[in-house]
């Protein structure tokens, strides 16, 4: 354990630590650069019966204007190791490693499996929690183990992928037991010298437009970054849409009866992607636009992104309450038009009145 007693900072503004740039302060905050500090922080909060929140890159949370009355642990654990075995490489990254830097390292090293996840903001520790995915890949396809602090027992454990409860943009860490585990490190099994994953229409079109018929990992990463940049889905200080947390709603997965109702309401072909057992995934962005919302428009200091209908962006003077009120209005109108309930992708911290 660390020889120094834990001394959290007090009344620390969280808005500058989050990509939306809204929200109040943390009552207490500690920056954890090693596992011992994480363990001590969990004990410190438990001893005082305080809520504990874990902050990574701040790219997938909305903090209430009143802030967080508890202890926030900002994860700063660093380190990457790799071990080759049987045409594969086991890559273990600490939870505080920047995600896109890890993807870039994998691509340059010739390790296939993460290339379509280029440009996603945030840190490694969030990837198993969210089961981060894009353009035909999900981290659940490569995760083999997650090292965690089990707050229930106070001990460190390693969970196999099968124990992580992965689903569409969710996991055991986010949905089933959201307050039990703190992710410390993640291990991914990547294919040494393997081909890139190309099975998403936007990606295929971009590669064709660039005249590439046999893409490399680097080609796919370049295309994904370009597509994401065109949608303001990479962090860019010069982008007018930069203050967002990316997609605010998940693409809904519906059964055949729900699909039929949406088609009747839309009076037009509905974009869909097949899932299992006849269920299909719909485009939340398409539903939002069909419900009457337009890119770049919104009430007061919040609006939809000018480049992507799934992103809510903040302007000068925006508050967390403005964000959740606009999100609630979007969801209510989509549900009224199509009978589809949109589920939030970001996590809400504090007293924000908007159910998932």
- Active site amino acids: 169, 247, 345
If you count them, how many residues does the chain have? 356
Cβ burial of 192 (10 Å; 0-12, 13-18, 19+) is middle
Question: How far are the Cα atoms of 227, 261, 287, 288, 300 from residue 336, in angstroms, in the given order?
Answer: 32, 12, 11, 11, 23
Among residues 290, 270, 266, 294, the alpha carbon closest in space to that of 282 is found at 270
Dist. CA 291–CA 340, nearest whole Å: 11
Dist. CA 112–CA 345, nearest whole Å: 27
The residue behind tokens 């600490």 is 94
Dist. CA 336–CA 73, nearest whole Å: 39
9 token code pair? 């900072």
64 token code pair? 């209430």
Among residues 185, 12, 208, the alpha carbon closest in space to that of 90 is found at 185
Is residue 306 within 8 Å of residue 297, measured between CB atoms?
no
212 token code pair? 């590439």
**Helices of type H across the chain:** 35-47, 99-109, 126-130, 201-209, 217-230, 256-266, 284-290, 320-338
Is residue 82 within 8 Å of residue 184, measured between CB atoms?
no
Among residues 343, 270, 330, 342, the alpha carbon closest in space to that of 304 is found at 330
Is residue 184 within 8 Å of residue 153, measured between CB atoms?
no
Is residue 307 within 8 Å of residue 230, measured between CB atoms?
yes
**Helices of type H across 48-115:** 99-109
């Amino acid at each position: 354990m660390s020889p120094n007693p834990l001394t959290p900072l007090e009344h620390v503004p969280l808005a500058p630590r989050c990509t939306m740039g809204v929200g109040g302060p943390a009552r207490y905050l500690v920056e954890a650069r090693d596992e011992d500090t994480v363990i001590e922080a969990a004990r410190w909060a438990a001893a005082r019966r305080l809520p504990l929140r874990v902050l990574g890159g701040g790219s997938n949370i909305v903090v209430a204007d009143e802030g967080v009355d508890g202890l926030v642990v900002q994860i700063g654990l660093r380190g990457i190791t790799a071990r080759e075995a049987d045409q594969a490489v086991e890559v273990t990254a600490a939870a505080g490693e920047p995600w896109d830097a890890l993807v870039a390292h994998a691509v340059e090293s010739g390790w296939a499996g993460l290339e379509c996840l280029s440009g996603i903001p945030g840190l490694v520790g969030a990837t198993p929690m969210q089961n981060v995915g894009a353009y035909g890949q999900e981290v659940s396809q490569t995760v083999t183990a997650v090292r965690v602090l089990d707050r229930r027992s106070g001990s460190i454990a390693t969970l196999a992928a099968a124990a992580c409860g992965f689903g569409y943009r969710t996991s055991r860490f986010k949905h089933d037991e959201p307050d039990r585990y703190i992710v410390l490190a993640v291990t991914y099994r990547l294919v040494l010298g393997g081909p890139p994953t190309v099975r998403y229409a936007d990606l295929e079109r971009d590669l064709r437009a660039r005249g590439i018929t046999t893409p490399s990992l680097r080609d796919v990463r370049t295309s994904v970054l370009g597509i994401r940049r065109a949608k303001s889905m990479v962090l860019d200080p010069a982008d007018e849409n930069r203050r967002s947390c990316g997609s605010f709603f998940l693409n809904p997965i519906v059964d055949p009866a729900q699909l039929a109702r949406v088609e009747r309401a839309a009076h037009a072909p509905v974009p869909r992607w097949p899932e299992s057992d006849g269920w299909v995934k719909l485009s939340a962005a398409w539903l939002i636009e069909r419900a009457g919302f337009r890119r770049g428009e919104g009430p007061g200091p919040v609006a939809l992104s000018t480049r992507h209908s799934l992103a809510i962006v903040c302007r000068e003077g925006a508050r967390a309450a403005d964000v959740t009120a606009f999100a609630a209005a979007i969801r209510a109108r989509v549900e009224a038009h199509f009978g589809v309930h949109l589920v939030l992708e970001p996590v809400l911290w504090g007293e924000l009145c908007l159910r998932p």
